[in-house]
Structure 1
């Protein structure tokens, strides 16, 4: 604390002294030579005028630099006040700890419809101090930039400086967009963690709309993520969260999943410290789903999504949008997650309870399920033993059938849970699961 105060005092002293010296120099230097006869006074030599102009330019540049120094000093003062406030709260055992600072990073490019995303974020934002909104824009699209800037101080607008093409092999030219996205993510996350110094961030794309309890959800799960090394992200998204495939009475239900969902997700700086040195040049989300990155860790995801996408057009050319994404159910009921006991998400307890729930459910046939012969609300277990069996059943039941490094979307220990005609179903491998087969893709 003493060191920060010294930095602040030294910065202020430097600013005052530098400007005093510049003012004295300007006052003491007369650009016109003194001559005895005023009528014979001549214009100053060109080199003298040039010196004055150079000095004026230098003075202006220095003022800008000093302005930046003052802004840094102001930020340090504000940070010091926050630290003092936190320390005073910690000293009082009756005072609740202050909420964490979790910025929301909006990844934008050339969609003016980013307004829809920002409007909802600002509508539900509980605190600008604890949930600042940062928009990182790639592409240099002026109309999109104008939309972002129209929000003024309510958002921070960052602009990706590298807008040129990414060097790629000839057979990857058609994937240029994916290379640019990966480059943008690397730059933006570096800004958040390295330059701004945040310890956590929630990432959304410019085509996502958020639920009323979006911020409540991440606020409650921040300590869960921070304290559990077996987790590496919290996502607001359920890949199989279409209307009719989720239980509308279970808005508070959360799961662990081995599949990285993305689409509105929180990560910590310690994860960025791990991933940044090996960040991929393209297809960053599928790269995250590889076992070398996941390392056996899980994410938290909800029964009912806290984000939905309204952007059909993008680098993926609407892949999955018309069939799945546009039907995702967005939660409308505010769930007070910060008041709920979320200890059931801890790995050991969750795994035991989950396996018990899945494998105690009666095993049923695919034909009985399709012909609606099952009685009661479930749950029921439907078993698969091969990649082909999983894909056929998933596709015919309306569940996303693609696998990434052997992991099904929304799956945990090979199990995909969903609703089918009002009945809970577990699409599961045989009991005694041994791990994912990475050749299943």
Structure 2
């Protein structure tokens, strides 16, 4: 099946190229028209006119551009095939993937715009066998169900059976939606890991669009997540990933972060077996950020996000969307992460390199950063001394200023790395800092 699909794509591309070549040859060799066959004009008609030559050269230019485009497409196909076609040529084993299967779980409810999410996933997915798409729908919204069903066997459509209201305290009535979301996540993840017996999953929501290397990114980081017990997730999201706050040249830059980012994230079955028995009734993402769940484990996140949210309306009523989320920069390049050595992200090596980079950077003042008075071109360090001073500096510089369970968004060991006016800034606590005490609830 996989080899047949690849062969069809190659055949189609070659057919297109061949057709264009034949077309050009026919145009080049076409005989003069009958009006040009008289004895008096025969000699002149044998030479192409300037207009005809111009047309022919225009066609040749177009043909050359199409050839170049097809060459790039064929190279991209070849790259993808190296991932999802088995290394040996045994035809009997061609349909058996050599790589682990990583399903994509799409959490849906009542947004018909789930079509945008699914279209992009299907467009960029290199292999249906390695990346089955499972759409779990809550809410019972008929129009959304019809959109999902229209994809047929391209996706697996699950419907959360319990649509009842949840009994909550009177003061939490307005948060009913958050309780239903948590219930849905619990049910959907159980379906993936217990019913369908997968060993890992990438969770996205119905309002996310993915980058060209979304699948490549998670494929490359799965072995690291499996082998490093100090990691508990891989996320496609940078909370401070708006244009102007990320380095556009660093498309391959990855970080460890103590903050659980969500918004396109991968977890293993072992983690779900740990979390499932104590899964919360509501606010599951903030619950994940509590020390009791995180247990000093980190996630991997990118400099430039591999997901983009387009869903302003939801249970949060657009909270943060206009100010922070709308302008998140989505990566547009394909980075071959599976070809890279990502072992630098293992804890001991990463901690040493990162802290050396941060605390060897020159210490600067807020006014110098804000007013563009920094000298040189390398990274600099801006120091904060308390949670309040962090919030003040972050807010004034335009990055996310909240902390969850004492951890700043996108932070690692208290350090938040971001771009500002073309310069790398490390907003960092003093050397030797350990952690902030989480706020008591």
Q: TM-score, normalised by structure 2?
A: 0.78
Distance 2:107 2:180 in 1: 12
Instruction: Flag as ranges the 4+ runs of structure 1 deviating above 2 A.
Output: none
2:409 alignment partner in structure 1: 409
Please, which runs of 5 or more residues in structure 2 have no aligned partner?
1-84, 90-95
Structure 2 residue aligned with 1:277? 277
What secondary structure, in the 3-state scheme, does the structure 1 residue paired with 2:266 have? strand
What are the within-5 Å matches in structure 2 for residues 376-391 of structure 1?
Answer: 376-391=376-391
d(CA) in 1 for partners of 2:331 and 2:197? 32
Aligned-partner Cα distance in 2 for 1:352–1:226: 22
- Distance in 1, matches of 2:197 and 2:262, equals 22
Equivalent-residue separation in structure 2 for 1:413 and 1:436 (angstroms):
10
- Residue 133 of structure 1 pairs with residue 133 of structure 2: yes
Larger Rg belongs to: 1
Shift of 1:439: 2.6
Question: Per-residue deviation at 1:375?
Answer: 1.8
Number of equivalences = 350
Matching residue of 1:23 = none
Q: State the distance in 2 between where 1:235 and 1:440 align.
A: 27
Q: Are the equivalent residues in 2 in contact too, given 1:376–1:423 (CA < 8 A)?
A: no
Check the 8 A contact 1:251/1:331 in 2, yes or no: yes
CA distance in structure 2 between the aligned counterparts of 1:236 and 1:273, rounded to whole angstroms: 23
Q: Does residue 248 of structure 2 align to residue 213 of structure 1?
A: no
In 2, Cα distance between the equivalents of 1:339 and 1:320?
Answer: 36
Unaligned runs of at least 5 residues, structure 1: 1-84, 90-95
Q: How does 1:419-434 map to 2 (within 5 A)?
A: 419-434=419-434
**Residue equivalent to 1:343:** 343
Give, in whole Å, the separation in 2 of the partners of 1:260 and 1:288: 7
Q: Distance in 1 between matches of 2:304 and 2:440?
A: 27
**Is the CA contact (8 Å cut-off) linking 1:406 and 1:440 kept in structure 2?**
no
Alignment of 1:23-38 (within 5 A): none
Counterparts of 2:375 and 2:127, CA distance in 1:
48
| Partners of 1:325 and 1:177 in 2: CA distance | 21
Counterpart-to-counterpart distance in 1, 2:249 and 2:260: 25
1:353 aligns with 2:353: yes
Partner of 1:235: 235
Q: How far is 1:97 from its partner?
A: 8.5
Matches within 5 A, 1:14-29: none
TM-score in terms of structure 1 length: 0.78
Report if aligned partners of 1:212, 1:332 keep a CA contact under 8 Å in 2. yes
For residues 54-65 of structure 1, the aligned pairs below 5 Å read: none
Question: What is the Cα deviation at residue 435 of structure 1?
Answer: 2.1
Query: Compared with structure 1, are the counterparts of its residues 97 and 311 closer, same or farther at alpha carbon in structure 2 (3 Å cutoff)?
Result: closer
CA distance in 2, matches of 1:377, 1:168: 54
Distance 1:370 1:182 in 2: 41
Q: What per-residue deviation string (whole Å, max 9, x for no partner) do you get for residues 268-317 of structure 1?
A: 00000000000000000000000000000000000000000000000000
Partner of 2:185: 185
Is the 8 Å Cα contact of residues 241 and 329 (structure 2) preserved in structure 1?
A: yes
